[in-house]
Structure formats: structure tokens, C-alpha cells
Amino acid sequence: MELKTPLYEIHLKYHGKMVPFAGYLLPIQYEEGIIKEHMAVRTRAGLFDVSHMGEIICKGKDALENLNRLLTNDFTDMEIGQARYSPMCNEHGGTVDDLIVYKKKEEEYFIVVNASNKEKDYQWMLEHKLGEAEFEDISDKIAQIALQGPKSQEILMKLTSDIPEKYYHAVFDGKVAGIPCMVSRTGYTGEDGFELYLDNQYAETMWETLMEAGSEYGLIPCGLGARDTLRLEAGMPLYGHEMNDEINPVEIGLGFAVKMQKDDFIGKSHLPNKDSLTRKRVGLRVTGRGIIREQEEVLVDGNKAGFTTSGTHCPFLGYPAAMAILDKEYTAVGTKVTVIVRGREVEAEVVTLPFYRKSK
């Protein structure tokens, strides 16, 4: 029995095509369809319900120490309002989840986790807790709406001045159209944009207010389908695809968020350094005919080279693309590969990630 987010009725009103996802009913798309929704975010703006995601508070004298021990990144030296992305590893260096940590105040952090890992992450944090710190799962109290696209800032400026100037920063006690809300300059699309965290009770009003303010800019609601095609074009990993408990963050290119110079953290002893990787994440661009998807075998000159982790037709790029984990010797840009797609061979080549970068 799937759960509903606070925006469920809104999705029905906007003719969302509802599907089960991470235990919730969410729209895979609305009437315009995935491609138009994707293009709206790349050229104007799109609005997403991401309330299914999890939010966990970590506070106390030893909050920072807990975070530094649980997560691979280093959370010392954060400003209030600053956010940092980090993988969370298990004892073997595999990935438990990837998440974002915000410094809310001294000794208090706001952590955002994947919907599909909410309960797992919370239990994991409790099990590994040290010293004087508390973890509180507040996911069920919080709705989240993402406004993404080049017009996002203009739209938001009509409703508030509580806009973080820098990427990966948030205004914690902001007000958008008079509604109390945390405004974070983050996103999962590769565009400029914002993620708004607010009390469930205001979610519908906030959504409709944003839709109205954005209407002159062509803002449309966007579903999970576009969320996936956007993040893939932007080369962003998705837990369960590019990483899982058997894939470590270093081999998929997240070394920037793994600080080996820290004191011990969970998984540290098993994490390879960049130069001793045996396999790596790459981008694949289809050169033949076909759409490459996840969990398909990749061959190079008849040799097994690895497997795809995500793939789809990419609306903005105009070609099908995929991410794959390949044995190191096959990861040079330009390497020609063959992907086995439902029994057929589809030609592709290794390209740099990301496939898409927004213009400055």
C-alpha cells in the first residue's frame, strides 16, 4: 500500500500519471510528457514534488564527530547554511547511500537522504552513533518542492528575497510568499535551481503559488521520468544504479567527496585510492542504433568490459546515452564498445562525463 506525499491531490489535479516509487505514489509525468518536461527544465523551469525524500537531524556536542565518522567527506569548517555532498560507506567501502549535509547551526546538521534508503540510513546512523549526539528522523513532517531551470531565480525573486547566493548553500529560516521555508540552492538536474523544504501543511499552497508566479515564464510540473533523464544528462549518479553496497564511491568518480586525510571513518580501510582502481564509471554515447539502458553487458573487442548502470534516450542531447562501470583498461575516452541490448549489439563509445553542462 503506497504512501501519498502532501502533494498527491495536486498531482491528480494536474493530471499526473501516478506510479509507485520508493513506497510512494508519484507522477512519472504529467500531460506534457517526459520530453517536454525535460526541455522545460533546460530552457525555462520545471517544478518537482520530491517530498518522498528523507530528512534527518543530527545534533549535539559530538554531532560533527559523528558525521565525520559516518560519512566519507569532511564536515569541519562549514559555514552556517552551507551544504556538502557525501557518500556514506559500509565497513567494506561499499555505499550505503549518498546524501547532502547542511550546517543548520553550531552542533546541528540537517541531512537529506534518498527516499529509497530513508529507514536504512536512519537505523545505520543510530547503530553507529557515538558520544553526545542525537539523530532525529523528521522526514514525515517535511514536504520538499524543487524548482529547477534557468528561470528559477527570476520566479523565486517574485516571492522572496531569502535566496541563497551561492550554489550548495541554504537560507534556513526563510519565507517564500510568506510561507516559512528552507531555501536551498541545490538540485538534481544540472541547471540552476532551488529545493524548498517546508512543513507538510503548506505544501499545496506553496506549489500553487510557485505555479502561478512561474506561469509567465512557462513553468510546468515535472515528474520522475524527467527527473531521471535530467540527472543522467548531467552525469549525476543515482543510488541503486551507479552505486550500491558493492560499489565504492571512489571507483565511480566521487573521490572529491572522500577525504582520506581524515581520521578513521567507516569504510576507510577498504577504499582504494584513485591510482589503484580496477574499474571506473564512464559515459557512453550511442553511435549505432538503439537505446542503452541499465544492467546491460558491455564488450570491447569481444571481451567482457563491464556493465551499464543507467541509460536512456536523452531529450536535450538528442541521442541515447548511458553510464557504465568498466574495467580500467577500457575506460579511455574514445574507446569503442558494444552493448548487448535485449540480445542485439548496439555500438557506443566512451565519452567524458557529464554529457551536459549548463551554460554560465
Partner 1 sequence: MKVLGDLVYTKTHEWVKFEDETTALVGLTDHAQQSLGELVFVNLPEEGDDTTAGEVFADVESVKAVSDVYCPVTGVVSEINEELLDSPEKINEAPYEAWFVKITDITDKEEFLSPEEYEELVKKEME
Which residues contribute to the site for partner 1 (CB under 8 A)?
28-29, 33-35, 225, 228-229, 289-291, 293, 312-313, 315, 320, 342, 344
Residue 35 or 340 having the CB closest to partner 1 = 35
Supply the minimum distance, in Å, between the C-beta of residue 134 and partner 1: 40
Find out whether 235 and 358 touch, Cβ atoms under 8 Å.
Answer: no
C-alpha cell at 293: 539502458
Nearer of residues 34 and 182 to partner 1, judged by Cβ: 34
Minimum CB separation from partner 1 for residue 144, in Å?
23
Closest contact distance (angstroms) between CB of 34 and partner 1 is 5
Peptide bond into 20 cis (omega under 30): no
**Residue 191 CB, nearest approach to partner 1 (Å):** 18
Q: Closest by alpha carbon to 321, among 342, 352, 300? A: 352
Instruction: Please report how close the Cβ of residue 247 comes to partner 1 at its closest, in angstroms.
Output: 23
Q: What per-residue string of b and e applies to 40-61 under the rule 16 or more CB within 10 Å gives b? A: bbbebbbbbbbbbbbbbebbbe
CB 99 within 8 A of CB 88: yes
Going 39 to 40 to 41 to 46, the CA torsion angle's sign is: negative
- Cβ 212 to partner 1 shortest distance, Å: 27
Sheet strands side by side (includes 17-21)? 3-4, 24-29, 17-21
Q: Looking at beta carbons only, is 312 or 331 nearer to partner 1?
A: 312
* Closest alpha carbon to 146 in 285, 49, 10: 49
Cα distances from 314 to residues 28, 55, 215, 264, 310, in angstroms, run 16, 30, 26, 41, 12
86, 72 Cβ separation under 8 angstroms: yes
Q: Which is nearer to partner 1, 266 or 346 (CB)?
A: 346
All three cell numbers of 351: 565519452
Q: Which is nearer to partner 1, 342 or 360 (CB)?
A: 342
Q: Shortest gap between Cβ of 237 and partner 1 (angstroms)?
A: 19
Say if CB 332 and CB 300 are below 8 A apart: no
Nearer to partner 1, 96 or 292 (CB): 292
Q: Which is nearer to partner 1, 150 or 290 (CB)?
A: 290
Instruction: Quote the least distance from Cβ 312 to partner 1, whole Å.
Output: 6
Whichever of 147 and 226 has its CB closer to partner 1, that residue is 226
> Residue 155 phi/psi, 5° resolution?
-65, -45
Q: Which three cell numbers stand for residue 36?
A: 517536454
**Least distance (Å) from partner 1 to the CB of residue 244?**
21
CB-hemisphere CA count at 13 Å for 348?
Answer: 35
80 strand-pairing partners: none
Going edge to edge, which strands form the sheet with 193-199? Answer: 170-176, 179-184, 193-199, 142-148, 46-49, 220-221
Closest approach of Cβ 228 to partner 1, in Å? 8
Nearest 10 degrees: Cα torsion 265, 269, 273, 279: -110
Closer of 190 and 315 to partner 1 (Cβ): 315
Question: Which is nearer to partner 1, 68 or 189 (by Cβ)?
Answer: 189
